């Protein structure tokens, strides 16, 4: 997972330090822990990047270590990005598309926006594997909320082939960059291929990077995409009328 984070954040200019903290979001009568990485110097109206983890990081209490050598490694990765990074955690046995997980992520995002007086035109949604599925779920359910999307070896839930078309129509022209390994045996590369085609069919703003001979661990190639973070942070929602 640290490699995934490093891949998403590697192209950013490093800041000094920063802190990883735990917060809670309440859904119904249940409190859910989430983490947030705050740059050492938080500028006025910072952007926020939401990162949805994969299936192996499900649990409670936060999926990234906050102390020790591992915590220092995590902060080293996260300190490279000039944005607040929101790191929700999906509960064991659940998926990002579950209603209470959807509500938790959006509640945590609203709290993060308020706490750091975030730039509402620069909220970004990223995810890997199960988190990549979560990107398409949340982006389609909350159309117009995010300025850009990054899906790494993700897909669209459902068996009906119309799922790609329906998701693309909801996502619309939101800028999106998809990544997938051509030899992925965990999540079929057809998921990203078909999502890309569906977005193009509705006139979407989409980029797709596919890597021959690469399996599910495509984040090594994502790490090499030096243009990813500059591209992501350059996207903005149109200001509200």
Mean pLDDT, residues 92-110: 97
Strands 176-181, 84-88: pairing is unpaired
The structural domains of the chain, ordered by start, are: 2-234 (3.40.50.1820)
Instruction: Give the whole-number percent of the chain exceeding pLDDT 90.
Output: 72
Tokens of 124: 């970004």
The more confidently predicted of residues 14 and 61 is 61
Question: What pLDDT, in 10s, does the model give residues 116-140?
Answer: 999 999 999 999 999 999 999 999 9
Indicate the range of 50-64, 110-124, 181-195 predicted with least confidence: 50-64
pTM to 2 decimals?
0.90
């Amino acid at each position: 997972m640290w490699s995934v984070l490093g891949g998403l954040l590697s192209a950013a200019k490093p800041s000094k330090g920063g802190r990883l903290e735990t917060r809670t979001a309440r859904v119904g009568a249940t409190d859910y822990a989430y983490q947030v990485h705050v740059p050492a110097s938080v500028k006025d109206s910072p952007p926020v990047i939401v990162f949805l983890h994969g299936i192996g990081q499900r649990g409670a209490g936060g999926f990234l270590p906050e102390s020790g050598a591992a915590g220092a490694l995590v902060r080293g990765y996260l300190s490279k990005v000039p944005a607040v990074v929101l790191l929700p955690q999906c509960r064991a046995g659940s998926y990002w598309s579950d209603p209470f997980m959807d509500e938790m992520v959006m509640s945590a995002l609203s709290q993060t926006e308020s706490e750091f007086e975030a730039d509402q035109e620069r909220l970004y949604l990223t995810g890997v594997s199960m988190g990549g599925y979560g990107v398409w779920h949340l982006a389609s359910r909350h159309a117009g909320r995010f300025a850009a999307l990054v899906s790494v070896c993700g897909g669209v839930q459902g068996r009906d082939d119309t799922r790609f078309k329906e998701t693309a129509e909801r996502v619309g022209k939101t800028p999106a960059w998809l990544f997938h390994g051509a030899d992925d045996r965990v999540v079929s590369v057809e998921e990203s291929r078909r999502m890309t085609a569906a977005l193009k069919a509705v006139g979407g703003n989409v980029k797709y990077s596919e890597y021959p001979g690469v399996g599910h661990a495509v984040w090594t190639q994502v790490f090499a995409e030096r243009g990813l973070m500059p591209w992501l942070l350059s996207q903005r929602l149109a200001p509200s009328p």
